[in-house]
Structure 1
Amino acid sequence: MTSDDMPKPGQVRAIRADVRRNRARLLAAAAEMFERDGAGASLEGVARLAGVGIGTLYRHFPTRQDLLEALLADVYDGLAATGRELLVSPAPGEALTAWLRAFIARITVFPGMAASAVVSLQDERPGPAAASGPAVACRAMRDAGQALFARAQDAGDVPAGAVFTDALRLAGAIAVVTEREPAAADRLLALAATGLIPGKGAHGG
């Protein structure tokens, strides 16, 4: 390739803008399709709805899980912000429970989303993947939840031997089995909280 064949700066910017637009269209289409048909919705259908070819979808999102995690990144960003807001709560145990409730609600927007979230929470990929948007958002969400958990633990609202990872796994499991039953999710989390937060719930605290 000669220097005359190299794209000009303006052309590079146009290409990059087009790539960003395609990615945004794919995410919007995926959100619409998955909310209607669940996480197993046709990827060809997602591409058609976005107005691009299936090859373009796969260039942006090589696997279905990559696409789901990209959608989850916004969810994780929101949960991180919620966690930071709850850090000023005068009731650390209740703040942690409120955050876990929000976590369950936000990863059950469409069928199959919770299962993908659980996979992403278990995925500790090294290298470039660790610096990707979804991975960064997931870490920020974890950090916010961990801060709430540590604060509740320091206040005596969570047993000294408990670990945040287990609380998050428990919330993820509740989300997976109750994704079509929000009321059941609240009941199960309340039931879990009676053991997670001594002196509450069944003990009449």
Structure 2
Amino acid sequence: MTTSRPLRADAARNRALLLAAAADEFAEHGLGASVADIARRAGVGKGTVFRHFPTKDDLIAAIVLDRIQALAAIGERLLDSGDPGAALLEFLTAAAQQRQQRDLSFLQEAGDVRPEVGKARTAMFQTIDTLVDRAREYGVIRTDVTGTDVILLMCAPGYVANSLPDAAPDLWRRYLAIIFDGLRPEGAHPLPQPPPDLL
């Protein structure tokens, strides 16, 4: 059995530059973004792109995985918070900010074909489920809200704000506040349908 060695400092730097440049190119030009333009934006040659990511699909999967892992790391850090309500709000804020900085949700379907992406997403969903369980146990969110409910609401603030032309940059915060108020137990009414099963 072989284990992958950590990247050299210059290789790790090039990989990070490529992921950032590719995310910007895909955000601006969609899936049609060219490898040549990504390499130019990162300040490296096309050969460097293909050494790190043999195909464009590999690059897309790496971007999706990088974003999932960044959010998962935030969620895992918040699991030990003494204030589960604040922890859940902080996680949802981080998720909305990530989408607001670069809405790359259209890449998810392309990235999902890779097993490592699916595995990372499942692990992140389990972290979210635990954050929600803790908030529910502490009585800071309503008893009938599940991790699946929160997962499905994560993208809503950015989606609402991005659907409006010339929206204020922080408009998503308004809708996140509305969502979070809806999660709180005060004034809650019974929900008409059970949650879907994602986990």
Give TM-score scaled by structure 2 length: 0.66
Deviations 1:115-134 (A, max 9, x none): 435x479x5x5xxx32x2x3
Given that 1:83 and 1:144 are in contact with CA atoms closer than 8 Å, whether structure 2 keeps it comes out as: yes
C-alpha spacing 1:144/1:33, structure 2 compared with 1 (3 Å): same
Q: In the TM superposition, what are the counterparts of 1:33-182 in structure 2 within 5 Å? A: 33-34=25-26, 37=28, 39-40=30-31, 42-44=33-35, 45-47=37-39, 49=41, 50-52=44-46, 56=50, 60-63=54-57, 67-110=59-102, 112-117=103-108, 119=109, 123=112, 129-130=114-115, 132=116, 134-179=117-162, 181-182=168-169
SS at match of 2:179: helix
Give TM-score, length-normalised by structure 1: 0.65
State the identity %.
Answer: 29
CA displacement 1:166-204 (0-9 Å, x = unmatched): 21221213223334754211110110111111239xxxx
- Contact kept, 8 Å, 1:104 with 1:175, in 2: the verdict is yes
CA distance in 2, matches of 1:196, 1:187: 15
Native 8 Å contact 2:96 2:155 kept in 1 = yes
**How many residues are aligned here?**
172
Structure 1 residue corresponding to 2:177, chosen from 181, 184, 190: 190
Gaps of 5+ in 2: 188-199
* Residues 91 and 114 of structure 1: CA distance in aligned 2, closer, same or farther (over 3 Å): same
Does residue 29 of structure 1 match 2:16?
A: no
Answer with 1 or 2: which has the greater Rg. Answer: 1
SS in 2 for 1:81: helix
Where does structure 1 lack aligned partners over 5 or more consecutive residues?
A: 1-12, 201-205
In proportion to residue count, which structure has more helix?
1
Give the CA deviation at 1:38.
5.1
CA distance in 2, matches of 1:139, 1:169: 14
* TM-superposed deviation, 1:136: 3.4
Root-mean-square deviation over aligned CA pairs: 3.7
2: CA distance, partners of 1:190 / 1:40:
32
Deviations 1:20-65 (A, max 9, x none): 78x8264343134346x25456224225554227x949x73454xx
